[in-house]
Structure 1
Amino acid sequence: MAKATLTISSKTYSAWSLRGWLLCRMAGLEVEEKRVENNAANRAELLLLSPSVLVPRLTHQGASVWDTLAIAEYLNELYPQAHLLPADPIARAHCRSISGEIHSGFTNLRSALPMNLKVSHQKFPVFSGARPDIERIEAIWQECLSTYGGPFLFGAEPTIADAMYAPVTTRFITYAVPVSPASAAYCQTIAQWAPMVEWREAALAEAEEMEELEVEF
C-alpha cells in the first residue's frame, strides 16, 4: 500500500502546514512530506491564499483531503483511538466551535503577526486592529483551561483545537505579545510539546528559499 503523503510548504512560515502536520502526528499516521516548490508562481499563489495550491493536502488510501479542518475530521473518523476530539459530547462541540473560529477568523492577527519561527522580538508594536483578536483568543483559552483543567485546551491530552491554535502560540512568543500568565503558560505548553519541538527544529534548519512573508499562508 502506498504511503500517505502530506503536501506542505515552508515550516518557518506556513501556519496551515503546521496544523495539518500536527494532526497527522496526533493521529499516529506516518506520512511522507512533499514540499510545494517555492518558485515565483507558487509564491504568488500562496500570498493570495489561492485554493489551487491546496496546502496542506493529505493523500491517503485513494483520498485527497485538503483544508485543515477537513483533514482533522478525516483523521478523527479513521483513527478514533487517537481521541482528536474530546469524548464528552458537550466538550466535543466546544472543541469544534473554537477550531472553526480560528479556521475562519482573526484576519487582523494573521496580517499583523505573521508566523515566523526564525525570529524573536523582545518588543514589537502590535497593530491596534489586532488587539480584539488577541483578546478573543485569550478569552477562548481562559475558558477552556479553566473548564477542562489544562494543560492543553481540553485537558491532559492535545486535541484538534491545540493543533489549530498552535501557530498562534508561536506568534505570541515570536512577537513578545503581552498576555495573561495563563495564556503565557499555555504558549509554553505548546512550545514544549514534542511534535512542536520537532517542527521548530526542522524550521530552523530550513533553507531560506523565499523572502519573509507579510501574510499567512
Structure 2
Amino acid sequence: MKHVVIASNNAHKVAEIESALDFEGWQFQALRQAGVDSDPEENADTFEGNARIKAQAAHAITGGAVLADDSGLEVDALDGAPGVMSARYAGGHGDDAANNAKLLRELADVPDEARTARFVCSLVFIDEDGAETTARGTIEGRIGHEPVGENGFGYDPLFIPDVFGGAVTLAQVPASDKNAVSHRGNALRALHEKILAAND
C-alpha cells in the first residue's frame, strides 16, 4: 500500500484526487486525517512555487509521499491578476463575494472580447525518496459581467469557460461536468500520465 498525504484539508479535493490518481494500492489522506499539522506561508510568486512550498513542508514532516496543489485565476486584461492572490484578492482570505466584487470593479470598462481569462492549477508530487514530479492544467474562458449560477465556489459564478460554448458559467454546470474539464482535473490527468511513464 502506497500512502500519499495531500497537503490540504479539503474533502472535495481529496475525492477528486483519489478518482484521478486511481493507481492500484495507492491510499490518500488529507493532512488532518494523517495527523499532520502543516500550514506554511505561501509566499511564492507562482502557483507551482506555492504548491512546492506546501509539498516540501508536508514531506519534511511525514517523510513519505505527498501531493500539493495551488490554483487560481489569471485575467489577461489585469496582467495575470489576481493570480497567486486569487483567494485573498480583496484582502481577506476566501471571501468569495468580496473577491468577485473587486474583480468586476477592475473589469468595469473592459469589453467582452478583452475579458479573456483562465483558471490554472499547478501540482507538485514528492515521492518517498524525495523525487519531484510537477504538472499544470488550465481551463480557458472569459469573465462575465455578473455572478450566475449556484454551483461551485470562488470565481466560478463569473467564469464562462470556452469548453461549453461560452454559454454558461462554471457555477451553472454539475460538479461531474466541471471535474471533467477543470484546471485541477486537467493537471491531475497530466500528473497521472507522468507517473505512469516514470514507472514503465
Flag the structure with higher helix content.
1
Structure 1 length normalisation: TM-score? 0.34
* Structure with more relative contact order (C-alpha pairs < 8 Å, separation 6 or more): 1
Flag the structure with higher strand content.
2
